[in-house]
């Protein structure tokens, strides 16, 4: 039996002001989340982006072509109702942050990592008041509890929409510090992404390209850049107190 698939049934989609923010209406009917909650977003820009995704659908509805809609749904249906759990999940990356684990050799890679990563960790120390220790290899490096507490507090200050974006920035890069740097406007998303892929690109230089690995990286990069865009669509205040640390 062929599974039923939703198809376009509306003529017009439009972003509209709602009591607590902005929503999207299809021929005057309000769009809801998969959990049947009101799809109310914090900014008109986000609602307009969602409306544009609905308007772009022709024939069968393709959720994979609607990233802003998916993220907004996740913020409402998942993150908002599990806020503390999501905060803990994201903050835990600070315990094993990518930037704190350096190569033992060769010297060229060690120098590259130091040149790119040290300034970001210096920002974490001076700008976020969260100094982190650095080690070589894969041996666990215990981090100062007060730094981890500070990072957790910063993450907790994000709104559910901001937290949705931060989750992907951190999970896809492997670095809480890089995710926070993008959120604070300290680093452009492209620069942060390149920093997070330093080891993989070094390996490619030595052993050649791997098409399968490159395809996987391209998919992750798409998610990372979308998270950066979604965070901008969240508007001022989405990052809590982080905005004053850039």
Per-residue pLDDT tens over the stretch 59-72 = 898 999 999 999 99
**E strand spans, 104-215:** 135-136
**Nearest Cα to Cα of residue 74 among 212, 168, 187, 151:** 168
Tell me if 166 sits within 8 A of 71, measured CB to CB.
Answer: no
24 within a domain of the structure (yes/no) = yes
Residue 178 half-sphere exposure toward CB, CA atoms < 13 A = 30
75 within a domain of the structure (yes/no) = no
Residue 236 half-sphere exposure toward CB, CA atoms < 13 A = 1
Residue 5 has pLDDT above 80, yes or no: no
Question: How many domains, the chain?
Answer: 2
- Helix, strand, coil tally for the chain in percent (to 5): 60, 10, 30
- Residue 152 tokens read as 């957790």
215 within a domain of the structure (yes/no) = yes
192 within a domain of the structure (yes/no) = yes
Domain with 102 in it:
81-244
**Are 93 and 60 within one domain?**
no
**Are 103 and 51 within one domain?**
no
Q: What pLDDT, on the 0 to 100 scale, is given for residue 213?
A: 83
Q: Could you read off the pLDDT of 163-184 as tens digits, one per residue?
A: 999 999 999 999 999 999 999 9
Q: What pLDDT, on the 0 to 100 scale, is given for residue 92?
A: 98
Tell me if 230 sits within 8 A of 217, measured CB to CB.
Answer: no
Q: What pLDDT, on the 0 to 100 scale, is given for residue 210?
A: 81
**What is the Cα–Cα distance from 78 to 17, expressed in whole angstroms?**
23
**Are 55 and 89 within one domain?**
no
- Residue 106 tokens read as 């060769």
Report in angstroms the alpha-carbon separations of 203 from 44, 124, 209, 210.
44, 28, 9, 10
Range with lowest mean pLDDT among 64-68, 79-83, 206-210? 206-210
SS3 104: coil
**Are 43 and 149 within one domain?**
no
Residue 12 has pLDDT above 80, yes or no: yes
**What is the Cα–Cα distance from 201 to 108, expressed in whole angstroms?**
13
**Are 172 and 234 within one domain?**
yes
**Are 159 and 193 within one domain?**
yes
**Are 49 and 96 within one domain?**
no
Range with lowest mean pLDDT among 72-86, 132-146, 199-213? 199-213
The CATH number of the domain holding residue 225 is 1.10.3580.10
47 within a domain of the structure (yes/no) = yes
**Are 52 and 118 within one domain?**
no
**Are 59 and 87 within one domain?**
no
152 within a domain of the structure (yes/no) = yes
**What is the Cα–Cα distance from 167 to 155, expressed in whole angstroms?**
10
Range with lowest mean pLDDT among 23-27, 59-63, 127-131, 192-196? 59-63
Q: What pLDDT, on the 0 to 100 scale, is given for residue 127?
A: 96
The CATH number of the domain holding residue 26 is 3.30.2180.10
Q: Could you read off the pLDDT of 29-58 as tens digits, one per residue?
A: 999 999 999 999 999 999 999 999 999 998
Q: What pLDDT, on the 0 to 100 scale, is given for residue 74?
A: 98
Residue 101 has pLDDT above 90, yes or no: yes
Q: For the chain, report the end-to-end CA distance as a whole number of angstroms.
A: 55
**Are 61 and 85 within one domain?**
no
**Are 51 and 131 within one domain?**
no
Q: What pLDDT, on the 0 to 100 scale, is given for residue 243?
A: 60
Residue 91 has pLDDT above 60, yes or no: yes
């Amino acid at each position: 039996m062929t599974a039923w698939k939703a198809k376009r049934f509306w003529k017009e989609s439009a972003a509209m002001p709602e009591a607590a923010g902005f929503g999207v209406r299809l021929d005057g009917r309000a769009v809801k989340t998969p959990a049947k909650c009101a799809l109310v977003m914090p900014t008109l820009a986000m609602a307009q982006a969602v409306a544009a995704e609905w308007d772009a659908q022709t024939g069968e509805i393709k959720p994979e072509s609607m990233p802003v809609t998916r993220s907004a749904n996740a913020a409402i249906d998942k993150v908002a109702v599990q806020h503390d759990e999501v905060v803990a999940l994201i903050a835990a990356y600070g315990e094993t942050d990518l930037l704190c684990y350096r190569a033992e050799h060769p010297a060229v890679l060690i120098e590259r990592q130091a040149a790119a990563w040290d300034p970001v960790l210096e920002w974490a120390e001076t700008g976020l008041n969260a100094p982190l220790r650095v080690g070589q290899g894969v041996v666990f490096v215990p981090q100062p509890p007060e730094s981890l507490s500070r990072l957790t507090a910063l993450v907790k200050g994000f709104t559910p929409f901001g937290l949705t974006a931060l989750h992907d920035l951190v999970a896809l890069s492997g670095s809480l510090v890089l995710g926070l740097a993008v959120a604070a406007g300290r680093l452009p998303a492209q620069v942060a992404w390149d920093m997070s892929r330093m080891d993989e690109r070094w390996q490619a230089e030595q052993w050649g390209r791997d098409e399968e690995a490159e395809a996987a990286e391209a998919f992750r990069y798409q998610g990372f850049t979308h998270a950066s865009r979604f965070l901008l669509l969240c508007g001022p205040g989405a990052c809590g107190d982080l905005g004053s640390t850039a």
